[in-house]
Amino acid sequence: MAHDSAPARFWAWGAQGRGQAARGAVQASVPPPVDVTLTLPLDEAEDPAALARRLAQKLGRTVDDLPAGWGVRKRSIDARKGKVRFVYVVRLGPDDTAPLPGLQEAKGGPPVLIVGAGPAGLFCAYALARRGIPAVVLERGKKVQPRRRDLNLVNQKGQVDAESNYCFGEGGAGTYSDGKLYTRSDKRGDVQDVLRILVDCGATADILVDARPHIGSNKLPRVVTTLRERLEAVGVQFRFGTRVTGVAKQGDAVTGVELADGTVLDGRAVVIATGHSARDVHHMLLRAGALLEPKPFALGVRIEHPQPIIDAIQYGQSAGHEKLPAAAYRLAHTEDGRGTFSFCMCPGGFIVPANTAAGEVVVNGMSPSLRNSRYANSGIVAAISPDQVAAAGYTGPLAGVAYQARVEQLAFTEGGGGFRAPAARVTDFLRRRVSRDLPSTSYQPGLAAADLEPVLDGAGVPVADALRRGLAAFGEKMRGFVTGDAVVVATESRTSSPVRIVRDKESWQAPGLQGLYPCAEGAGYAGGIVSAAIDGMKVADRIARGG
Protein backbone atom coordinates (compact mmCIF):
# COMPACT_ATOMS: atom_id res chain seq x y z
CA MET A 1 0.00 0.00 0.00
CA ALA A 2 1.28 3.47 -0.89
CA HIS A 3 1.27 6.16 1.78
CA ASP A 4 1.89 9.84 2.22
CA SER A 5 5.51 10.86 2.26
CA ALA A 6 7.24 12.36 5.26
CA PRO A 7 6.83 16.06 5.98
CA ALA A 8 8.82 18.89 4.44
CA ARG A 9 12.51 18.12 4.34
CA PHE A 10 13.11 18.06 0.59
CA TRP A 11 12.99 20.30 -2.45
CA ALA A 12 11.20 20.80 -5.73
CA TRP A 13 11.40 23.19 -8.64
CA GLY A 14 10.84 26.76 -7.68
CA ALA A 15 11.48 26.02 -4.00
CA GLN A 16 15.09 25.23 -3.18
CA GLY A 17 17.88 22.90 -4.31
CA ARG A 18 19.35 22.63 -7.80
CA GLY A 19 16.32 23.35 -9.99
CA GLN A 20 16.46 27.14 -9.70
CA ALA A 21 20.11 27.48 -10.66
CA ALA A 22 19.90 24.87 -13.36
CA ARG A 23 17.18 26.63 -15.32
CA GLY A 24 19.57 29.29 -16.54
CA ALA A 25 21.94 26.68 -17.93
CA VAL A 26 19.37 24.93 -20.07
CA GLN A 27 19.45 25.77 -23.75
CA ALA A 28 16.49 25.99 -26.11
CA SER A 29 17.69 22.85 -27.87
CA VAL A 30 17.20 20.64 -24.80
CA PRO A 31 14.79 17.76 -25.58
CA PRO A 32 11.34 17.62 -23.95
CA PRO A 33 11.34 16.73 -20.23
CA VAL A 34 11.48 13.04 -19.32
CA ASP A 35 10.24 11.45 -16.07
CA VAL A 36 12.38 8.85 -14.30
CA THR A 37 11.10 6.73 -11.39
CA LEU A 38 13.56 5.95 -8.58
CA THR A 39 13.17 3.76 -5.52
CA LEU A 40 15.21 4.58 -2.42
CA PRO A 41 15.62 2.59 0.80
CA LEU A 42 14.60 4.30 4.04
CA ASP A 43 18.12 5.28 5.05
CA GLU A 44 18.58 7.23 1.81
CA ALA A 45 15.15 8.85 1.74
CA GLU A 46 14.93 12.65 1.72
CA ASP A 47 18.67 12.95 1.02
CA PRO A 48 19.30 15.02 -2.14
CA ALA A 49 22.80 13.61 -2.53
CA ALA A 50 21.53 10.03 -2.35
CA LEU A 51 18.82 10.83 -4.87
CA ALA A 52 21.41 12.31 -7.24
CA ARG A 53 23.53 9.16 -6.93
CA ARG A 54 20.55 6.93 -7.67
CA LEU A 55 19.58 9.04 -10.65
CA ALA A 56 23.12 8.96 -12.04
CA GLN A 57 23.26 5.20 -11.57
CA LYS A 58 19.99 4.69 -13.45
CA LEU A 59 21.16 6.94 -16.30
CA GLY A 60 24.57 5.29 -16.46
CA ARG A 61 26.37 8.56 -15.66
CA THR A 62 28.33 10.15 -12.88
CA VAL A 63 26.71 12.68 -10.56
CA ASP A 64 28.82 15.46 -12.12
CA ASP A 65 27.54 14.46 -15.56
CA LEU A 66 23.83 14.65 -14.72
CA PRO A 67 21.81 16.79 -17.14
CA ALA A 68 21.19 20.33 -15.98
CA GLY A 69 17.77 21.09 -14.65
CA TRP A 70 16.11 18.20 -12.84
CA GLY A 71 13.76 18.10 -9.90
CA VAL A 72 11.37 15.95 -7.93
CA ARG A 73 7.99 15.68 -9.61
CA LYS A 74 6.26 13.31 -7.20
CA ARG A 75 7.10 11.54 -3.95
CA SER A 76 5.37 8.72 -2.09
CA ILE A 77 5.97 5.75 0.20
CA ASP A 78 5.44 2.20 -1.00
CA ALA A 79 4.92 -0.33 1.80
CA ARG A 80 3.70 -3.24 -0.30
CA LYS A 81 5.07 -6.74 0.10
CA GLY A 82 6.41 -5.95 3.54
CA LYS A 83 9.26 -3.79 2.27
CA VAL A 84 9.04 -0.05 2.89
CA ARG A 85 10.75 2.32 0.48
CA PHE A 86 10.40 5.83 -0.89
CA VAL A 87 9.44 6.29 -4.54
CA TYR A 88 10.44 9.45 -6.41
CA VAL A 89 9.45 10.57 -9.87
CA VAL A 90 12.24 12.83 -11.12
CA ARG A 91 11.83 15.03 -14.17
CA LEU A 92 14.84 15.61 -16.39
CA GLY A 93 14.81 18.94 -18.12
CA PRO A 94 14.15 22.55 -17.22
CA ASP A 95 11.38 23.72 -14.96
CA ASP A 96 9.08 25.18 -17.59
CA THR A 97 6.33 26.11 -15.13
CA ALA A 98 4.88 29.47 -16.04
CA PRO A 99 4.75 32.15 -13.31
CA LEU A 100 1.48 32.48 -11.45
CA PRO A 101 -0.76 35.12 -13.04
CA GLY A 102 -0.81 38.25 -10.92
CA LEU A 103 -3.80 39.84 -9.22
CA GLN A 104 -5.26 43.06 -10.60
CA GLU A 105 -6.84 46.00 -8.84
CA ALA A 106 -10.61 45.68 -8.87
CA LYS A 107 -12.23 47.67 -11.65
CA GLY A 108 -15.48 49.58 -11.39
CA GLY A 109 -18.94 48.16 -11.77
CA PRO A 110 -21.14 45.95 -9.60
CA PRO A 111 -19.28 43.19 -7.75
CA VAL A 112 -19.74 39.46 -7.79
CA LEU A 113 -21.28 38.47 -4.45
CA ILE A 114 -19.67 35.27 -3.12
CA VAL A 115 -21.55 33.60 -0.28
CA GLY A 116 -19.04 31.64 1.81
CA ALA A 117 -15.33 32.11 2.54
CA GLY A 118 -14.32 28.45 2.28
CA PRO A 119 -11.93 27.20 -0.40
CA ALA A 120 -14.53 27.56 -3.17
CA GLY A 121 -15.36 31.14 -2.23
CA LEU A 122 -11.75 32.19 -1.67
CA PHE A 123 -10.48 30.73 -4.92
CA CYS A 124 -13.46 32.07 -6.85
CA ALA A 125 -12.53 35.53 -5.56
CA TYR A 126 -8.88 34.86 -6.44
CA ALA A 127 -9.72 33.88 -10.02
CA LEU A 128 -11.90 36.96 -10.40
CA ALA A 129 -9.10 39.14 -9.01
CA ARG A 130 -6.77 37.82 -11.71
CA ARG A 131 -9.12 39.55 -14.15
CA GLY A 132 -9.73 42.66 -12.08
CA ILE A 133 -13.40 41.76 -11.51
CA PRO A 134 -14.62 43.19 -8.19
CA ALA A 135 -15.99 40.77 -5.60
CA VAL A 136 -17.49 40.85 -2.12
CA VAL A 137 -17.13 37.70 0.01
CA LEU A 138 -19.91 37.26 2.58
CA GLU A 139 -19.12 34.89 5.47
CA ARG A 140 -21.46 34.12 8.36
CA GLY A 141 -18.57 33.07 10.62
CA LYS A 142 -15.50 34.83 11.97
CA LYS A 143 -11.92 35.27 10.86
CA VAL A 144 -9.57 32.43 11.72
CA GLN A 145 -8.10 33.91 14.91
CA PRO A 146 -11.31 34.81 16.80
CA ARG A 147 -12.80 31.60 15.48
CA ARG A 148 -10.32 29.66 17.65
CA ARG A 149 -12.11 30.83 20.79
CA ASP A 150 -15.39 29.42 19.52
CA LEU A 151 -13.75 26.04 18.88
CA ASN A 152 -12.44 26.02 22.45
CA LEU A 153 -15.99 26.60 23.73
CA VAL A 154 -17.19 23.52 21.85
CA ASN A 155 -14.30 21.35 23.01
CA GLN A 156 -14.08 22.44 26.64
CA LYS A 157 -17.52 23.72 27.65
CA GLY A 158 -19.94 21.99 25.30
CA GLN A 159 -21.18 25.28 23.85
CA VAL A 160 -21.56 25.84 20.12
CA ASP A 161 -21.87 29.12 18.25
CA ALA A 162 -24.22 28.37 15.35
CA GLU A 163 -22.42 30.95 13.18
CA SER A 164 -18.77 30.24 14.08
CA ASN A 165 -17.55 26.68 14.64
CA TYR A 166 -15.54 23.91 12.96
CA CYS A 167 -17.68 24.23 9.80
CA PHE A 168 -18.43 27.95 9.58
CA GLY A 169 -15.85 30.73 9.40
CA GLU A 170 -12.90 31.92 7.34
CA GLY A 171 -11.47 29.07 5.29
CA GLY A 172 -14.50 26.85 5.80
CA ALA A 173 -14.54 23.41 7.40
CA GLY A 174 -11.05 22.56 6.14
CA THR A 175 -9.27 25.33 8.06
CA TYR A 176 -9.46 23.53 11.39
CA SER A 177 -10.13 20.08 10.04
CA ASP A 178 -6.79 19.03 8.66
CA GLY A 179 -6.01 20.72 5.38
CA LYS A 180 -5.70 17.49 3.39
CA LEU A 181 -5.20 18.37 -0.26
CA TYR A 182 -5.64 14.97 -1.89
CA THR A 183 -8.07 15.02 -4.79
CA ARG A 184 -9.25 12.56 -7.43
CA SER A 185 -9.33 15.34 -10.01
CA ASP A 186 -7.36 14.26 -13.08
CA LYS A 187 -6.83 17.82 -14.34
CA ARG A 188 -3.24 18.24 -13.20
CA GLY A 189 -2.97 21.83 -14.39
CA ASP A 190 -5.95 22.91 -12.29
CA VAL A 191 -4.66 21.02 -9.23
CA GLN A 192 -1.17 22.48 -9.55
CA ASP A 193 -2.61 25.97 -9.91
CA VAL A 194 -4.39 25.62 -6.56
CA LEU A 195 -1.35 24.09 -4.85
CA ARG A 196 0.99 26.77 -6.18
CA ILE A 197 -1.29 29.51 -4.88
CA LEU A 198 -1.26 27.86 -1.45
CA VAL A 199 2.55 27.66 -1.53
CA ASP A 200 2.69 31.30 -2.58
CA CYS A 201 0.62 32.08 0.52
CA GLY A 202 2.93 30.20 2.89
CA ALA A 203 2.27 26.47 2.58
CA THR A 204 5.34 24.24 2.33
CA ALA A 205 6.52 23.52 -1.21
CA ASP A 206 6.33 19.80 -0.40
CA ILE A 207 2.62 19.87 -1.28
CA LEU A 208 3.66 20.27 -4.91
CA VAL A 209 5.27 16.83 -4.98
CA ASP A 210 3.74 14.72 -2.20
CA ALA A 211 1.42 12.00 -3.44
CA ARG A 212 -1.05 12.97 -0.70
CA PRO A 213 -0.31 16.59 0.12
CA HIS A 214 -1.28 17.97 3.51
CA ILE A 215 -0.80 21.36 5.16
CA GLY A 216 -1.95 20.70 8.72
CA SER A 217 -4.61 22.35 10.84
CA ASN A 218 -1.95 24.31 12.76
CA LYS A 219 -0.54 25.94 9.60
CA LEU A 220 -3.54 26.29 7.31
CA PRO A 221 -5.09 29.23 9.22
CA ARG A 222 -2.03 31.39 8.46
CA VAL A 223 -2.15 30.38 4.79
CA VAL A 224 -5.85 31.27 4.60
CA THR A 225 -5.22 34.63 6.29
CA THR A 226 -2.44 35.48 3.83
CA LEU A 227 -4.65 34.56 0.88
CA ARG A 228 -7.41 36.83 2.16
CA GLU A 229 -5.01 39.71 2.84
CA ARG A 230 -3.66 39.53 -0.70
CA LEU A 231 -7.16 39.66 -2.08
CA GLU A 232 -8.02 42.61 0.12
CA ALA A 233 -4.93 44.41 -1.16
CA VAL A 234 -6.41 44.47 -4.68
CA GLY A 235 -9.87 45.53 -3.61
CA VAL A 236 -11.72 42.31 -2.79
CA GLN A 237 -14.04 43.01 0.13
CA PHE A 238 -14.69 40.57 2.97
CA ARG A 239 -17.63 40.87 5.34
CA PHE A 240 -17.50 38.46 8.27
CA GLY A 241 -20.38 37.85 10.65
CA THR A 242 -22.70 38.36 7.69
CA ARG A 243 -25.42 35.78 7.10
CA VAL A 244 -27.27 35.69 3.80
CA THR A 245 -30.99 34.93 4.24
CA GLY A 246 -32.46 35.53 0.80
CA VAL A 247 -31.91 36.12 -2.89
CA ALA A 248 -32.96 39.40 -4.51
CA LYS A 249 -34.56 38.99 -7.94
CA GLN A 250 -36.06 40.91 -10.81
CA GLY A 251 -38.10 38.42 -12.77
CA ASP A 252 -35.84 35.44 -13.47
CA ALA A 253 -32.66 37.41 -12.90
CA VAL A 254 -30.83 37.33 -9.56
CA THR A 255 -29.73 40.85 -8.70
CA GLY A 256 -28.23 40.41 -5.25
CA VAL A 257 -28.74 38.98 -1.78
CA GLU A 258 -30.67 39.81 1.36
CA LEU A 259 -28.85 39.79 4.70
CA ALA A 260 -30.07 38.84 8.16
CA ASP A 261 -30.11 42.49 9.21
CA GLY A 262 -32.44 43.39 6.35
CA THR A 263 -29.78 44.90 4.09
CA VAL A 264 -29.97 44.14 0.37
CA LEU A 265 -26.69 44.00 -1.56
CA ASP A 266 -26.67 44.34 -5.34
CA GLY A 267 -24.28 42.37 -7.52
CA ARG A 268 -23.63 41.32 -11.10
CA ALA A 269 -23.76 37.66 -10.05
CA VAL A 270 -24.21 35.60 -6.88
CA VAL A 271 -22.03 32.56 -6.15
CA ILE A 272 -23.32 30.07 -3.56
CA ALA A 273 -20.18 28.52 -2.03
CA THR A 274 -21.40 27.66 1.46
CA GLY A 275 -20.25 24.07 2.03
CA HIS A 276 -22.23 20.98 3.01
CA SER A 277 -23.40 22.13 6.46
CA ALA A 278 -25.25 25.38 5.61
CA ARG A 279 -28.66 23.73 5.68
CA ASP A 280 -30.50 27.04 5.96
CA VAL A 281 -29.05 28.05 2.58
CA HIS A 282 -30.63 25.02 0.94
CA HIS A 283 -34.02 26.06 2.34
CA MET A 284 -33.39 29.65 1.20
CA LEU A 285 -32.68 28.52 -2.35
CA LEU A 286 -35.81 26.37 -2.46
CA ARG A 287 -37.86 29.42 -1.53
CA ALA A 288 -36.11 31.37 -4.28
CA GLY A 289 -37.14 28.79 -6.88
CA ALA A 290 -33.87 26.91 -7.33
CA LEU A 291 -34.06 23.27 -8.41
CA LEU A 292 -32.61 20.95 -5.78
CA GLU A 293 -32.40 17.17 -5.92
CA PRO A 294 -31.27 14.49 -3.47
CA LYS A 295 -27.94 12.79 -4.12
CA PRO A 296 -26.04 9.85 -2.62
CA PHE A 297 -23.76 10.42 0.39
CA ALA A 298 -22.27 8.33 3.18
CA LEU A 299 -22.69 8.06 6.94
CA GLY A 300 -21.16 6.08 9.77
CA VAL A 301 -18.62 6.40 12.56
CA ARG A 302 -15.09 7.59 13.13
CA ILE A 303 -12.64 4.92 14.23
CA GLU A 304 -9.63 5.73 16.42
CA HIS A 305 -6.55 3.57 17.03
CA PRO A 306 -3.34 4.22 18.89
CA GLN A 307 -1.05 5.34 16.04
CA PRO A 308 1.59 2.65 16.81
CA ILE A 309 -0.95 -0.04 15.91
CA ILE A 310 -1.44 1.40 12.42
CA ASP A 311 2.31 1.95 12.03
CA ALA A 312 2.99 -1.69 12.87
CA ILE A 313 0.32 -2.95 10.47
CA GLN A 314 1.49 -0.81 7.57
CA TYR A 315 5.25 -0.66 8.07
CA GLY A 316 5.96 -4.01 9.74
CA GLN A 317 9.51 -4.20 11.08
CA SER A 318 10.23 -0.73 9.74
CA ALA A 319 7.69 0.87 12.10
CA GLY A 320 9.34 3.56 14.18
CA HIS A 321 11.99 4.43 11.59
CA GLU A 322 12.86 8.11 11.88
CA LYS A 323 12.25 8.73 8.18
CA LEU A 324 8.71 7.35 8.25
CA PRO A 325 5.68 9.52 8.96
CA ALA A 326 2.64 8.34 10.89
CA ALA A 327 1.14 5.60 8.72
CA ALA A 328 -2.13 6.05 6.86
CA TYR A 329 -4.54 3.67 5.19
CA ARG A 330 -7.37 3.65 2.68
CA LEU A 331 -9.93 0.85 2.75
CA ALA A 332 -13.05 -0.11 0.85
CA HIS A 333 -15.41 -3.08 0.85
CA THR A 334 -18.52 -3.85 -1.20
CA GLU A 335 -21.02 -6.48 -0.16
CA ASP A 336 -24.55 -7.06 -1.46
CA GLY A 337 -24.08 -4.03 -3.70
CA ARG A 338 -23.41 -1.63 -0.83
CA GLY A 339 -20.08 0.07 -0.26
CA THR A 340 -18.33 0.73 3.03
CA PHE A 341 -15.10 2.70 3.03
CA SER A 342 -12.64 4.77 5.02
CA PHE A 343 -12.99 8.51 4.70
CA CYS A 344 -10.75 11.45 5.63
CA MET A 345 -8.08 9.32 7.29
CA CYS A 346 -6.01 11.37 9.78
CA PRO A 347 -2.70 9.82 10.84
CA GLY A 348 -1.28 11.32 14.02
CA GLY A 349 -4.48 13.27 14.43
CA PHE A 350 -7.45 14.15 16.61
CA ILE A 351 -11.22 13.64 16.52
CA VAL A 352 -13.05 16.96 16.74
CA PRO A 353 -16.70 18.03 17.17
CA ALA A 354 -18.12 19.27 13.87
CA ASN A 355 -21.68 20.03 14.92
CA THR A 356 -23.14 23.39 13.92
CA ALA A 357 -26.05 23.55 16.37
CA ALA A 358 -27.05 22.51 19.87
CA GLY A 359 -28.63 19.10 20.33
CA GLU A 360 -26.56 17.22 17.77
CA VAL A 361 -23.29 15.28 17.76
CA VAL A 362 -21.14 15.23 14.63
CA VAL A 363 -17.48 14.17 14.60
CA ASN A 364 -14.69 14.80 12.13
CA GLY A 365 -10.93 14.31 12.05
CA MET A 366 -7.87 16.53 11.68
CA SER A 367 -4.08 16.30 11.89
CA PRO A 368 -1.43 18.91 12.68
CA SER A 369 1.34 19.38 10.13
CA LEU A 370 3.72 17.01 11.93
CA ARG A 371 1.03 14.37 12.42
CA ASN A 372 2.46 13.68 15.83
CA SER A 373 -0.62 12.87 17.90
CA ARG A 374 -0.68 9.48 19.65
CA TYR A 375 -3.79 8.56 17.68
CA ALA A 376 -4.88 7.67 14.16
CA ASN A 377 -8.49 8.20 13.15
CA SER A 378 -10.65 7.79 10.07
CA GLY A 379 -14.26 7.89 9.09
CA ILE A 380 -15.71 4.44 8.43
CA VAL A 381 -18.89 5.07 6.48
CA ALA A 382 -21.53 3.28 4.47
CA ALA A 383 -23.05 4.51 1.24
CA ILE A 384 -26.56 5.98 1.56
CA SER A 385 -28.76 6.25 -1.53
CA PRO A 386 -31.73 8.60 -2.05
CA ASP A 387 -33.94 5.52 -2.40
CA GLN A 388 -32.94 4.29 1.07
CA VAL A 389 -33.69 7.70 2.55
CA ALA A 390 -37.07 7.82 0.80
CA ALA A 391 -37.91 4.31 2.02
CA ALA A 392 -37.29 5.52 5.58
CA GLY A 393 -40.05 8.11 5.15
CA TYR A 394 -38.09 11.26 4.32
CA THR A 395 -39.48 13.18 1.36
CA GLY A 396 -38.58 16.08 -0.89
CA PRO A 397 -35.27 17.36 -2.22
CA LEU A 398 -33.94 17.89 1.32
CA ALA A 399 -34.82 14.39 2.51
CA GLY A 400 -31.16 13.52 3.02
CA VAL A 401 -30.62 16.66 5.10
CA ALA A 402 -33.53 15.73 7.38
CA TYR A 403 -32.20 12.19 7.72
CA GLN A 404 -28.70 13.42 8.59
CA ALA A 405 -30.09 15.77 11.21
CA ARG A 406 -32.10 12.98 12.83
CA VAL A 407 -29.05 10.72 13.14
CA GLU A 408 -27.07 13.57 14.70
CA GLN A 409 -29.85 14.22 17.23
CA LEU A 410 -29.92 10.54 18.17
CA ALA A 411 -26.16 10.64 18.70
CA PHE A 412 -26.57 13.61 21.05
CA THR A 413 -29.21 11.76 23.07
CA GLU A 414 -27.14 8.56 23.34
CA GLY A 415 -24.06 10.58 24.28
CA GLY A 416 -25.84 12.09 27.25
CA GLY A 417 -25.32 15.77 26.44
CA GLY A 418 -22.39 18.17 26.46
CA PHE A 419 -21.44 16.94 22.97
CA ARG A 420 -20.08 13.73 24.44
CA ALA A 421 -20.08 11.21 21.62
CA PRO A 422 -21.56 7.69 21.91
CA ALA A 423 -18.84 5.12 21.35
CA ALA A 424 -17.85 1.48 21.66
CA ARG A 425 -14.69 -0.57 21.42
CA VAL A 426 -14.50 -2.02 17.92
CA THR A 427 -14.63 -5.60 19.21
CA ASP A 428 -17.75 -4.83 21.26
CA PHE A 429 -19.44 -3.12 18.33
CA LEU A 430 -18.86 -6.20 16.19
CA ARG A 431 -20.34 -8.37 18.97
CA ARG A 432 -23.37 -6.08 19.35
CA ARG A 433 -22.70 -5.17 22.95
CA VAL A 434 -22.13 -2.02 24.99
CA SER A 435 -18.54 -1.54 26.14
CA ARG A 436 -17.90 -1.65 29.89
CA ASP A 437 -15.24 0.97 29.47
CA LEU A 438 -13.53 2.84 26.66
CA PRO A 439 -9.89 3.44 25.72
CA SER A 440 -8.37 6.91 25.96
CA THR A 441 -9.30 9.27 23.14
CA SER A 442 -8.27 12.49 21.46
CA TYR A 443 -11.90 13.71 21.40
CA GLN A 444 -11.95 16.50 23.97
CA PRO A 445 -15.68 16.68 24.82
CA GLY A 446 -15.37 13.02 25.85
CA LEU A 447 -16.95 9.68 24.96
CA ALA A 448 -19.90 7.83 26.43
CA ALA A 449 -20.09 4.03 26.23
CA ALA A 450 -23.33 3.36 24.40
CA ASP A 451 -25.26 1.04 22.14
CA LEU A 452 -24.60 2.49 18.68
CA GLU A 453 -27.46 0.65 16.98
CA PRO A 454 -30.14 3.19 18.06
CA VAL A 455 -27.95 5.94 16.60
CA LEU A 456 -26.98 4.29 13.33
CA ASP A 457 -30.27 2.56 12.58
CA GLY A 458 -32.75 4.63 14.60
CA ALA A 459 -33.37 7.16 11.84
CA GLY A 460 -34.75 4.47 9.55
CA VAL A 461 -31.86 3.59 7.23
CA PRO A 462 -29.91 0.45 8.30
CA VAL A 463 -26.24 1.32 8.68
CA ALA A 464 -24.82 -0.65 11.63
CA ASP A 465 -24.62 -4.05 9.94
CA ALA A 466 -23.04 -2.57 6.81
CA LEU A 467 -20.34 -1.04 9.02
CA ARG A 468 -19.83 -4.34 10.84
CA ARG A 469 -19.35 -6.18 7.57
CA GLY A 470 -16.92 -3.52 6.39
CA LEU A 471 -14.92 -3.55 9.62
CA ALA A 472 -14.67 -7.34 9.54
CA ALA A 473 -13.38 -7.18 5.96
CA PHE A 474 -10.90 -4.44 6.89
CA GLY A 475 -9.65 -6.63 9.71
CA GLU A 476 -8.89 -9.34 7.15
CA LYS A 477 -6.98 -6.89 4.96
CA MET A 478 -5.08 -5.28 7.87
CA ARG A 479 -4.34 -7.83 10.59
CA GLY A 480 -4.66 -6.08 13.94
CA PHE A 481 -7.10 -3.42 12.71
CA VAL A 482 -9.97 -5.01 14.64
CA THR A 483 -8.87 -4.69 18.26
CA GLY A 484 -10.28 -3.80 21.64
CA ASP A 485 -7.78 -0.94 21.77
CA ALA A 486 -9.65 0.82 18.97
CA VAL A 487 -12.91 2.71 19.41
CA VAL A 488 -15.72 3.64 17.03
CA VAL A 489 -17.34 7.02 17.65
CA ALA A 490 -20.72 8.19 16.34
CA THR A 491 -21.51 9.98 14.22
CA GLU A 492 -19.56 10.73 11.03
CA SER A 493 -22.48 12.14 9.09
CA ARG A 494 -21.26 15.09 6.99
CA THR A 495 -19.02 13.37 4.52
CA SER A 496 -20.62 15.25 1.63
CA SER A 497 -23.76 17.14 0.80
CA PRO A 498 -26.88 14.94 0.51
CA VAL A 499 -28.37 17.43 -1.94
CA ARG A 500 -27.38 18.89 -5.30
CA ILE A 501 -28.28 22.40 -6.42
CA VAL A 502 -28.91 21.90 -10.13
CA ARG A 503 -26.89 24.09 -12.51
CA ASP A 504 -26.86 24.33 -16.28
CA LYS A 505 -24.09 22.23 -17.83
CA GLU A 506 -22.92 25.05 -20.06
CA SER A 507 -23.42 28.28 -18.12
CA TRP A 508 -23.26 26.72 -14.62
CA GLN A 509 -26.14 28.97 -13.57
CA ALA A 510 -29.19 27.69 -11.72
CA PRO A 511 -31.99 27.09 -14.25
CA GLY A 512 -34.57 29.87 -14.01
CA LEU A 513 -32.30 32.01 -11.83
CA GLN A 514 -30.00 33.88 -14.17
CA GLY A 515 -26.89 35.09 -12.39
CA LEU A 516 -26.99 32.50 -9.56
CA TYR A 517 -24.03 30.10 -9.59
CA PRO A 518 -24.19 27.03 -7.29
CA CYS A 519 -20.63 26.05 -6.43
CA ALA A 520 -18.55 23.23 -4.98
CA GLU A 521 -19.27 20.94 -2.05
CA GLY A 522 -22.48 22.43 -0.65
CA ALA A 523 -23.97 22.44 -4.13
CA GLY A 524 -22.99 18.81 -4.69
CA TYR A 525 -20.21 19.37 -7.25
CA ALA A 526 -17.00 18.86 -5.28
CA GLY A 527 -15.55 17.24 -2.19
CA GLY A 528 -12.48 18.44 -0.34
CA ILE A 529 -10.33 21.56 -0.38
CA VAL A 530 -8.69 21.23 -3.79
CA SER A 531 -11.73 20.13 -5.78
CA ALA A 532 -13.81 22.87 -4.14
CA ALA A 533 -11.14 25.45 -4.99
CA ILE A 534 -11.04 24.26 -8.60
CA ASP A 535 -14.82 24.47 -8.86
CA GLY A 536 -14.72 28.02 -7.47
CA MET A 537 -12.16 29.07 -10.06
CA LYS A 538 -14.17 27.51 -12.87
CA VAL A 539 -17.29 29.35 -11.72
CA ALA A 540 -15.26 32.58 -11.85
CA ASP A 541 -14.29 31.71 -15.42
CA ARG A 542 -17.95 31.25 -16.38
CA ILE A 543 -18.82 34.62 -14.83
CA ALA A 544 -15.94 36.35 -16.62
CA ARG A 545 -17.15 34.89 -19.92
CA GLY A 546 -20.69 36.08 -19.28
CA GLY A 547 -22.18 32.75 -18.20
Provide the pLDDT confidence category of residue 96 given band limits of 50, 70 and 90: confident
Whether residue 174 sits in one domain with residue 272: yes
Residue 261, domain member (yes or no): yes
Strands (E) in 354-481, as ranges, are: 363-366, 375-384, 421-425, 447-449
Residue 98 falls within a domain, yes or no?
no
What mean pLDDT do residues 514-524 have? 96
CA 380 to chain centre: 16
> How remote is the C-alpha of 203 from its chain's centroid?
15
Q: Same structural domain for residues 204 and 312?
A: no
Do 271 and 390 lie in one domain? The reply is no
Is residue 360 within 8 A of residue 347, CB to CB? The reply is: no
* Res 106 pLDDT > 70: yes
- Indicate if 14 and 133 belong to the same structural domain: no
Q: Which helix (H) or strand (E) holds 540?
A: helix 529-544
pLDDT in tens, 344-390: 999 999 999 999 999 999 999 999 888 999 999 999 999 999 999 99
pLDDT at 153 (0 to 100):
87
Q: What is the CATH number of the domain that holds 246?
A: 3.50.50.60
Q: Considering the chain, what percentage of its residues have pLDDT values greater than 90? A: 79
Same domain, 251 and 285: yes
Domains in the chain: how many in total?
A: 3
Mean pLDDT of 404-409: 98
Q: How far apart are CA 498 and CA 521, in angstroms?
A: 10
Residues 190 and 231 in one domain: yes
pLDDT band of residue 6 (cuts 50, 70, 90) is very low
Residue 102 inside a domain? The answer is: no
For residue 16, give its domain range: 2-92
Final residue belonging to a domain, choices 59, 92, 125: 92
Closest by CA position to 67, among listed 37, 26, 36, 112 = 26
Contacts of residue 395, Cβ cutoff 8 Å, sequence gap at least 6: none
The continuous run of DSSP H or E covering 92 comes out as: strand 85-92
Q: How do residues 140-177 score in pLDDT, each as one tens digit?
A: 999 998 998 998 888 888 899 999 998 999 999 888 76
Whether residues 136 and 181 share a domain: the answer is: yes
Q: Is residue 517 part of a domain?
A: yes
Per the domain annotation, does 428 fall within a domain?
yes
Same domain, 367 and 435: yes
pTM for the complete prediction? Answer: 0.92
pLDDT of residue 180: 77
How much is the pLDDT for 9? Answer: 33
Is residue 101 in a domain?
no
Residue 178: per-residue pLDDT: 61
Residue 25 scores a pLDDT above 70: no
Among 27, 62, 92, give the residue marking a domain's end. Answer: 92
Is 99 within the bounds of a domain? no
Residue ranges of E strands in 385-460: 421-425, 447-449
Shared domain for 264 and 310, answered yes or no, is: no
User: Does the N-terminal peptide bond of residue 491 adopt cis geometry, omega within 30 degrees of 0?
Assistant: yes
What is the rounded average pLDDT of the residues 37-54? Answer: 94
Q: Do residue 325 and residue 471 come from a single domain?
A: yes
Residue 240 lies in a domain: yes
- What pLDDT is recorded for position 187? 62
For residues 466 and 516, state if they share a domain. no
Give the Å distances, CA to CA, from 101 to 97, 189, 424: 12, 14, 51
Positive/negative CA dihedral, 225, 231, 232, 237 = negative
Q: State the Cα angle at 432 between 428 and 433, rounded to 5°.
A: 60
The predicted pLDDT at position 14 comes to 32
Q: Report whether 390 contacts 384 (CB < 8 A).
A: no
**Which of 139-148, 150-159, 237-246, 288-297 has the least mean pLDDT?**
150-159
Is 84 in the same domain as 121? no
